[in-house]
A and B are shown apart, each in its own frame.
Chain A
Amino acid sequence: MEQVASQIGIKGIREGLLISVPDRGSLADLVALLTVELAQKRAFLQGSQVALQVGYRKLDKEQVRQLQAVFEQNQLELWAILAEDPSAREAARELSLATRLSGSQTDLNGNFLSQVAEPETAVANDMPAQGGLILKETLRSGRSIYHEGHVVVIGDVNPGAEIVASGDVIVWGRLRGLVHAGALGDETAVICALELTPTQLRIADQIAISPDEKRGRAIPEQAAIRSGQIVAEMWQR
């Protein structure tokens, strides 16, 4: 008995408790085991939601009810039965119990899957430690690039995107987001763009915002610090 009792596993999961029981032996033995185990740990477990893992044990509706009753007596709510046997799952379903956990490695019927492909979250990793960084893409809202060195974007920088670089920033496209050049204090850093309409520009510790009026045709411009202020100048050399 003592040896079997240790086969009852209890662990915490997101949905509450997961209690696994041996799939051999009679139901009466199992009920007895559970009763003892739950009574002992009552103070610790009280009020939890329980998912019961029964392995290959076969259960009919009446037997599931019996198990439900055991948990009820101990103020525990049995909400799911995880079973390998389809008829046990069917019995649980008829009593409105869940038969699988969300995100578990089983198909929708509760059968074990050999492999579940969780989509990998791509991590943008475009920041080598040093040197120039060239990005041939449009930086959309929410994107942020930190780089020690110069940054060149071939594409647009949309509102909500930001680039922070210790060197210069050149945008071969429309700059409508936020750019901070010379972020480590270099006041000679410049920001160039084919269309310079940023939400905000920063060079070293200076901050500037675009004038409100709309301009007609976009012209390439360069922003730099001139006598302590950021100014945008037409591109001509």
Chain B
Amino acid sequence: MNGKVITVTSGKGGVGKTTVTANIATALAMLGKKVVAIDADIGLRNLDVVMGLENRIVYDLVDVIEGRCRLRQAMIKDKRQPDLYLIPAAQTRDKMAVSPSDMILVCDELRQEMDYIIIDSPAGIERGFRNAVAPSDEVVIVTNPEVSAVRDADRIIGLLEAEEKGPGRLIINRLKPEMVARGDMLSIDDVLDILAVELIGVIPEDESILISSNRGTPVAMSGLNGSSASQAFRNVAQRLQGETVPFVDLTPKTGLLNRLNNWFSKS
């Protein structure tokens, strides 16, 4: 087997990298793939919490790299998906405990038995970012429809191009169609206008994401009340596999609220 390494990064913090990582990994596992998610945010680990695996941590990524345990021992099996694993970050160390060549070693070993290796990158453009990107075959950039997040995403894309890691593909997270309709939020087109990269997902702002994250069940799996975000993440997973999936219609003029309003006024 020759697994694919996908790094999820953003530059700016708080745009939803960890949520996206957890959900992409879960959604790919639900499609029957063998997936391992790696938390590369050494010192500020979160992915284990979002995936609800915090209490199962014995060994972490730094233990693997420093040879305190075997790779297999640090892989935590997910509660619900049989072929989903997590390698957590160390909480007591910092980014310098890992080097880009260590990450390449870890991923090369994982490639042997997994279909996908999803790496959650820390915010920023320093060592942690370089660690996360070094082993990647493909990069997914997460941004929010706001000027500062887009600016940072642009910088990240520039850095990726300089490292010959391709322009990457884009996920726009936390889009509020009704705000876009009012002209109060950047639209998908506004974001793509600046970044000029391929779009691989649009995740609408959805309360069920927060609820699921707090419960430690990624929304892609829980699918709370048929949440639109849940479907959006599953679509991203399918696109990552090379399938063509149409984007759910979130364009300003037919935003969810407007559509509801139209529907009520018609009947």
Interface of A toward B, CB cutoff 8 Å: 14, 80, 89, 93, 96-103, 107-110, 116-119, 121-122, 124, 138-143, 156, 158-161, 176
Question: Which A residue's beta carbon lies closest to that of B98?
Answer: A102
Binds A, one of B26-34, B156-164, B234-242, B248-256: B156-164
Q: How far is the CA of A176 from the CA of B162 in the complex (A)?
A: 21
For window 161-191 of B, CB contacts with A under 8 Å fall at 161-164
Q: Compute how far the CA of A99 lies from the CA of B62 in the bound complex, rounded to whole angstroms.
A: 11
How far apart sit A108 and B106, CA to CA, in the bound complex (Å)? Answer: 7
B137 sits at the interface (CB 8 A): no
| Residues A103 and B196 in contact, CB atoms below 8 Å apart | no
Within 8 Å by CB of B152, from A93, A141, A176, lies A141
List of B residues within 8 angstroms of A80 by Cβ: 66-67
**Contact assessment for B68 and A140 in the assembled complex, using a CB-CB cutoff below 8 Å:** no
Q: For residue B134, which residues in chain A have a CB less than 8 angstroms away from its CB?
A: 119
Please state if A141 and B154 are interface contacts (CB–CB under 8 Å).
yes
B68, B101, B152: which contacts A103 (Cβ < 8 A)? B101
Number of residue pairs spanning A and B whose beta carbons lie under 8 angstroms apart: 88
Q: Is B123 part of the contact surface with A, judged by Cβ < 8 Å?
A: no
Name which of A99, A108, A156 has the most chain B CB atoms within 10 A of its CB.
A108
Q: Which residue of A lies closest to B65 (CB)?
A: A102
Question: Are B101 and A116 within 8 A (Cβ)?
Answer: yes
**Quick one: CB contact mask for B13-46 with A, threshold 8 Å, 1 for yes?**
0000000000000000000000000000000000
B193 vs chain A, min Cβ distance (A): 8
- Is the C-beta of B1 less than 8 angstroms from some C-beta in chain A? no
**B233 vs chain A, min Cβ distance (A):** 27
Q: Are A124 and B162 in contact (CB under 8 A)?
A: yes
B97 interface residue per 8 A CB criterion? yes
A160 touches B98 (CB 8 A): no
A109/B67 in contact, CB under 8 A: yes
Q: Is the CB of B157 within 8 A of A140?
A: yes
Interface residue total, chain B, C-beta cutoff 8 A = 35
Check B96 against A14 for contact (C-beta < 8 Å).
yes
Residues of B within 8 A of A139 (CB): 158
Task: Name the CB-closest residue of A to B152.
Answer: A141
Indicate which residue in A118, A138, A140 contacts B101 across the interface (CB closer than 8 Å): A118
Residue in B65, B102, B109, B155 whose CB lies within 8 Å of A142: B155
Complex Cα spacing A119 to B106, Å: 15
Shortest Cβ gap from A111 to chain B (Å): 10
- Across the interface, B67 reaches (CB within 8 A) one of A99, A117, A140, A142, namely A99
Q: Is the CB of B99 within 8 A of A102?
A: yes
Cβ proximity bits B119-130 to A, threshold 8 Å, 1 near / 0 not:
000000000000
Contact yes or no, A142 B66, CB < 8 A: no
The verdict on B151 contacting chain A, using a C-beta distance below 8 Å, is yes
- Most chain A CB neighbours (cut-off 10 Å) among B67, B106, B161, B163: B67
Residue B224 interfacial (CB < 8 Å): no
Contact (Cβ within 8 A) B151 A159: yes
Chain A residue nearest in CB terms to B163: A122
Chain B nearest Cβ from A212, distance in angstroms: 14
Whole-angstrom CA separation of A100 from B152 in the bound complex: 35
Across the interface, do A160 and B67 meet the contact criterion of CB distance under 8 Å? no
> Inside 8 A of A176's CB, which chain B residues have their CB?
194
Using an 8 Å CB-CB cutoff, how does the interface string of B219-251 with A read, 1 for contact, 0 for none? 000000000000000000000000000000000
The distance in angstroms between the C-alpha atoms of A176 and B65, with both chains bound, is: 43
CB of B199 closer than 8 Å to a CB of A: no
* 26 pairs of residues in contact across A and B, judged by CB atoms under 8 Å: A14-B96, A80-B66, A80-B67, A93-B68, A98-B67, A98-B68, A100-B66, A101-B66, A102-B62, A102-B96, A103-B99, A108-B67, A110-B67, A117-B101, A117-B104, A138-B196, A140-B157, A140-B161, A141-B154, A141-B155, A141-B158, A142-B154, A159-B151, A160-B154, A160-B155, A176-B194
B216 at the interface (CB under 8 A from A): no
* Cross-chain contact of B164 among A102, A103, A122 (Cβ < 8 A): A122
